[in-house]
Amino acid sequence: MSRDSDESTQGIKQEQSPETDGTSSAPDTPETQPLSITLPDGSENVADAIVTHREMLTDPHEHGLATDEDISHLSEAMETFSGRLEKATHQSDETQSQIDELQHLVEQQQQQINELHSVVTSLADILGTEAGWTKFNDK
């Protein structure tokens, strides 16, 4: 760390009095309340935090941050997956449309079968006989 930053932090520490260090029993007002900034882990003062952040920005991979290459790779992957998602959504919509058409067709056929069943039963009654029915889903 540089000598200037050491002197500036020592100057700040020396300027603090017991009344402004946050331990006094007097109620804190906005004018007297000390500024509290949370420093990153391993930093004892603001200067250390600035140096740490500069190091993190100059070598982000070493500090677990994404590099430009990582971001480019992730952006390309997102574009690829977005395209695939759009295609899959389109296929799903088409499939759902086909399912709806088939369901409507089955309902129409079921209605026709019920009407034919009714007509055959009526004819059987007129002829004085009975008609036996077996449905494909009967066990």
Angle in degrees, CA 125, 129, 130, rounded to 5: 85
pLDDT at position 67 is 80
pLDDT at position 107 is 96
Kindly state whether residue 135 falls inside one of the protein's structural domains: no
What pLDDT, in 10s, does the model give residues 65-76? 888 888 899 999
Half-sphere exposure (Cβ direction) of 81: Cα atoms closer than 13 Å: 6
Residues 41, 4, single domain; the answer is yes
Residues 102, 53, single domain; the answer is no
Residues 96, 123, single domain; the answer is yes
Kindly state whether residue 24 falls inside one of the protein's structural domains: no
86 phi and psi angles, rounded to 5 deg: -60, -45
What pLDDT, in 10s, does the model give residues 74-122? 999 999 999 999 999 999 999 999 999 999 999 999 999 999 999 999 9
Range of the domain at 101: 83-130
What is the residue whose two structure tokens read 């520490």?
Answer: 13
Kindly state whether residue 78 falls inside one of the protein's structural domains: no
Helix (H) / strand (E) containing 7:
helix 3-15
If you write DSSP's letter for every residue of 55-120 in order, what string do you get? HHHHSGGGGTPPPHHHHHHHHHHHHHHHHHHHHHHHHHHHHHHHHHHHHHHHHHHHHHHHHHHHHH
Structure-model confidence comparison of residues 10 and 132, the more confident one: 132
Prediction pTM value = 0.44
Kindly state whether residue 58 falls inside one of the protein's structural domains: yes
Structure-model confidence comparison of residues 80 and 33, the more confident one: 80
Q: How many domains does the chain have?
A: 2
pLDDT at position 22 is 46
Q: Sign of the CA dihedral 64, 67, 69, 73?
A: positive
Residues 51, 6, single domain; the answer is yes
Q: How many CB atoms lie within 10 A of CB 90?
A: 10
Kindly state whether residue 74 falls inside one of the protein's structural domains: no
